[in-house]
Structure 1
């Protein structure tokens, strides 16, 4: 299914959300670094998770998949490996988590990728490798080709936190394994702090202890730590649940299961955001800060487009460096469907309408979250919509369209001629 026609239909039934992609990345990496055998339950083989699995295999981890679970024997440190190539596909998490980890293994590591991956910033790592006089050679941006070689040395590290929390996670995964203690200092405001909380939680589950100051801006990291093999179950994904929860807010009738109400996932904020959008504002407009929840902004913008009154979603600059320029993609495609939405700086200004017209050709921009947002939008349009490049959902939610149909969504493959 690449080009689809979606006919407006109400969605009904029960949907169990897929496992958290964010937590699965981290669990796979931690288990692959552990001594002994781990089992990671509740795994979905999306393109991004496959990229991380293959990356850890390239370091020597032995990984098998059966019945939605991974069995992982950790990579044997200290053995001599030849240089390796890791295909990150379009996964920014895979790339940014594994770059510093690559310095733990002998030989050169080459990272390749496709899509927008070559355009996504890597400057914090480039500065780090330069400071330690380590090989770092990047070719891009059309197709990513990066080669690095270690080893990193323990010490005091300073790193920006306002580009992506993925750089911080990469260092937190790596520094405990160095032969000496380290300190990681964040020199700017830390974006997407919730993802760092997830990282620390998964690290603790695998026996790694990291202390942080009360502001979360400095991490004290003992060296020579050991990842401990264990059984781990990945919880449901709030980022994906956001689409079904938002569908409910728009008048569909779904029971959404598989979520942990006490989850540390930052996108659990979708619950509060939907409550805000369900509140009528007479005089002043709603203000939603999108800095900590970039992955759910497209679906939030859809709900805002059909909420009474005006909504401003602020601090969206990082949406421009996702799988697409997600800020532009969200505005363009929702406007095509009849929403009153515009970009002002790095904010979205939205005035609610009572109905979306539909009847248009729209494009996913090859961005999984735009494609899924358009699917939910189709349920509240007057006329069918035609979605180009719908198969990009494989990046995070490979059976999304199948589930959409099971819930009553009407899909027809479209011949684009």
Structure 2
């Protein structure tokens, strides 16, 4: 990977936020499990979304990239006419390779979905994906007699056997991705099922997104206050046209840029969105950012000084890196709590944020499940920082560079392709200044 030299330069202009990666994953999966042909508009082909497209294709869906939309021919499509979709067949006679790349969502969503089909499923991937725990599924497999094997430290998981309906007890304080995977899968089984949540539910926003997408594609699930989910069996996903909404987790970078003296108008956000990362609006307002609408987009302005607050990371972990940057430039001491899951993302994000932002003069210290951030008045530059090959760390450091006193060198900047392939183009279009840099120059 390469390096960029980023110069201190105020950002000013408008950005069309890319489509929600969370909703795109869900739309592709629902459409691919469907009974016809769906059209998905406003989709960004990030590495993670490509992983989900390829994974669902490996299960038999026919997915085609058109000029400005994605056409998805579902695995349940069995028309009488002899068009392309009628030629689909499930690949059940040999080992399927399901390549999740570095996408935790793809992996955890697809493990139970793949258990709808006969044959051996082999999940592979890269980076830290093999370190993400899957014990929730292993416990279910043990109870149901589904065969599985895996290797420690890398993703190489094999499963064989079909999932059966029933009662599933799942902890709520683990990744919501496990619950989402089951919510996708259980309606397609012949009998009714129930998911019982045995602890307080974290990341409710992500469950809301899943239930919303599932409902949009014609499947009904009863949510009893996030304590249990009642799922009728023998349902089917219905094909439809679907537009993916803008992504609040990506908007967080530019709204945070506004909080530290940039002037960016953020477009294409759904105001009544169920995305958990919409919490960024409330957090930034508590810290002193006044939000208003301009040219049909959202822009923030700070009157006076930013102020410290307490931030609960349990419902919105993906925005914590860039919010930490804002907190570092706020008066007082900010505490980030309930964010332990950030340690098993693409990198240990709590450690990475602490290490890299402290190089710029911040005063951040780690706790086991959070951060203590003492505000400083300014950031220094003239140093080399590293993305840790994590897209959210790279974008956080890009926003930080706009208010440093000297340029910074960012190592491994291309990792933004995981979620936001056009980030550097958008950053440049609103005034960001950078160039390729060879370390040692």
* Alignment TM-score, normalising by the size of structure 1: 0.97
CA contact (8 A) 2:60 2:90 kept: no
Aligned counterpart, 1:33: 33
1:113 offset after TM fit, Å?
0.3
1:238 corresponds to 2:260: no
Aligned counterpart, 1:185: 196
Give me the whole-angstrom Cα distance separating, in 2, the residues matched to 1:68 and 1:233: 11
Give me the whole-angstrom Cα distance separating, in 2, the residues matched to 1:242 and 1:216: 26
Aligned counterpart, 1:342: 365
Aligned counterpart, 1:260: 270
1:76 offset after TM fit, Å?
4.0
1:281 offset after TM fit, Å?
12
1:68 offset after TM fit, Å?
3.4
CA contact (8 A) 1:84 1:110 kept: yes
Q: How does 1:190-229 map to 2 (within 5 A)?
A: 190-213=201-224, 215-229=225-239
CA contact (8 A) 1:60 1:76 kept: no
Aligned counterpart, 1:95: 107
Q: How many matched pairs?
A: 414
Aligned counterpart, 2:299: none
1:67 offset after TM fit, Å?
2.7
1:401 corresponds to 2:430: no
Using the TM superposition, name which of 231-240 and 72-81 deviates more: 72-81
Q: Which blocks of at least 5 consecutive residues in structure 2 are unaligned? A: 78-88, 290-302
1:285 offset after TM fit, Å?
5.7
1:79 offset after TM fit, Å?
4.5
1:166 corresponds to 2:189: no
Q: How does 1:73-112 map to 2 (within 5 A)?
A: 73-76=73-76, 79=90, 81-82=92-93, 83-112=95-124
Instruction: Please identify runs of 4+ aligned residues in structure 1 that moved more than 2 A.
Output: 76-83, 279-282
Aligned counterpart, 2:335: 312
- Any idea what SS the aligned residue of 2:201 has? coil
Query: Cα gap change, 1:181/1:360 in structure 2, threshold over 3 Å: closer, same or farther?
Result: same
CA contact (8 A) 2:172 2:199 kept: yes
* Alignment TM-score, normalising by the size of structure 2: 0.91
1:343 offset after TM fit, Å?
1.1
Q: How does 1:289-368 map to 2 (within 5 A)?
A: 289-368=312-391
Aligned-residue Cα RMSD (Å) equals 1.6
- Any idea what SS the aligned residue of 2:127 has? coil
Q: Which blocks of at least 5 consecutive residues in structure 1 are unaligned? A: none
Aligned counterpart, 1:412: 435
- Any idea what SS the aligned residue of 1:24 has? helix
1:344 offset after TM fit, Å?
2.7
1:21 corresponds to 2:31: no
Equivalent in 283, 288, 304 of residue 278 of structure 1: 288
Once the two structures are superposed, residues 207-236 of structure 1 have per-residue CA deviations (whole angstroms, 9 ceiling, x without a partner) of 0000011x2110000000011000000000
1:2 offset after TM fit, Å?
1.9
CA contact (8 A) 1:116 1:324 kept: yes
Once the two structures are superposed, residues 276-316 of structure 1 have per-residue CA deviations (whole angstroms, 9 ceiling, x without a partner) of 1228999x962111111110000000000111121111111
CA contact (8 A) 1:44 1:68 kept: no
Give me the whole-angstrom Cα distance separating, in 2, the residues matched to 1:390 and 1:266: 26
CA contact (8 A) 1:278 1:307 kept: no
CA contact (8 A) 1:102 1:149 kept: no
